[in-house]
Structures are given as C-alpha cells and as structure tokens.
Amino acid sequence: MLWGCFASAGTVSAQTIRRTLRNEGLHARTPRRTPLLSPKNKKSRLQYAKSNVDKPQKFWDSVLWTDETKLELFGPMDQRYVWRRKNKAYEEKNTLPTVKHGGGSIMLWGCFASAGTGKLQRVQGTMNSLQYQEIVDDNVMQSVTNLRLGRRWTFQQDNDPKHILHCITLYFCNCNTSMFLNPGHT
C-alpha cells in the first residue's frame, strides 16, 4: 500500500512523505476533544440513545433542555496553528495573547427548547443543591412560558447528584412535570 512506494526508494525526505500522505487524503490536524468515557458510560449512552430513538417529534418539541457550563474569560488555551514565514513568529498577527493565571472564568446555567432559548443565569461560586433549586425556581417556569411549551412539558437534566435530590424531584412533581435524565458525560 502506502509503504510500498517508499520501500524501494532508499532514503526519503520528510517532505516527500508529507506530500505522499496529503496525496492519499491524509492531513495533519489537531485532534478533536471528546469526553473521556468509561465502558460503563459508553454502555449507558448507547442504551439511552436506543431507548429514545423512536420518540415522536412532539415529545422532543416539549423538552426543556438544561445544563451548566464553565466559560473561560479568554477562551480555551488549547493548541492552535498559524501559517507564517520564517523569522516572523513575533509579528502581532502570528501571536496568541495570554493572561496570567488564565484570566478567570464564569459558570452559567441555561436552558433551551426546540422553540428557542430560555433564561441564562450566572452561577455564583460553586453550585450546590440549594443554589440549583433557586435557579430552577427563578428561571424554569418563566422559560417554559416564554417558549410556549404548554402544560405537558418535560424537564431534562443530567444525573448530577445536586439535580436529583428529593427536593428537586418533589418540585417537578408539584408542577406535574416529568423529568428526563441524561446519562453521565452527555
């Protein structure tokens, strides 16, 4: 296959190898970041997908999706590439400014449905179950109303321990709302 063209060539330059790889459709790229999943996580995600694949569109239209995320003030400082000429490394267009200690971050909770985006709430400090319940109290029903999800809507959340405490489950039972739990690392 590919090595066959090099076997009889003797010494081959790195450029020749790169050119041959490109001609074969292979290109140097940074790897995509994906969650580190255990076999148990993979199995539960597959089971989740199989158990929900046949749900009708009407069901999905009534789901209020929620999650928290951490945003880095200056974005993720992962590896990036620039195309530049030799000895031009420090021209401004070829640099990536950095800040000491990462520049900080904020934590956000948000929700959305097929009809659009719901409320977005900044999380102060580390979220605990009490703060989570306050965020749900302050944001969910208003988002449901604004998104016109109707009376028979479903609240989606992951299996974070602070999300599935008795007080949170009771809150949604009192609202006559069903809960839809995602497996971990989704």
Per the structure, the count of domains in the chain is 1
| pLDDT the model gives residue 91 | 87
The residue that leads in pLDDT, 104 or 111, is 111
> Mean per-residue pLDDT for 73-91?
75
Residue 114 or 77, more confident: 114
pLDDT confidence band for 3 (50 / 70 / 90): low
Question: What rounded mean pLDDT belongs to the chain?
Answer: 82
The beta strands (E) that lie in the chain are given as 63-72, 105-113, 116-123, 154-157, 178-181
Asked whether residue 151 is assigned to any structural domain, the reply reads yes
pLDDT tier, 56 (very low <50, low <70, confident <90, very high otherwise): very high
User: Residue 169 pLDDT more than 60?
Assistant: yes
- Residue-wise pLDDT for 115-158, tens only, equals 999 999 999 888 888 888 888 889 999 999 999 998 889 988 87
The predicted model gives 55-76 an average pLDDT of 87
Q: Does 176 map to a domain? A: yes
C-alpha distances in angstroms, 92 versus 74, 147, 160? 17, 45, 43
CATH of residue 162:
3.30.420.10
Give tens-digit pLDDT for 42-51: 999 899 999 9
Q: How far is CA 16 from the centre of its chain?
A: 39
- The answer to the question of residue 5 being in a domain is no
pLDDT value at position 139? 93
- How high is the pLDDT of residue 83? 72
What pLDDT does 24 receive? Answer: 87
Annotate 7-24 with b (16+ C-beta within 10 A) or e (fewer): eeeeeeeeeeeeeeeeee
CB 171 within 8 A of CB 136: yes
185 found inside a domain: yes
- Residue 135 within any structural domain of the chain: yes
Backbone phi, psi, residue 87, to 5°: 65, 20
**Structure token pair of residue 80:** 């990036």
Domain containing residue 158:
55-75+103-186
Average pLDDT on 169-175 reads 71
Give 178's strand partners. 154
Q: Is residue 21 part of a domain?
A: no
Whether residue 36 lies inside any domain: the answer is no
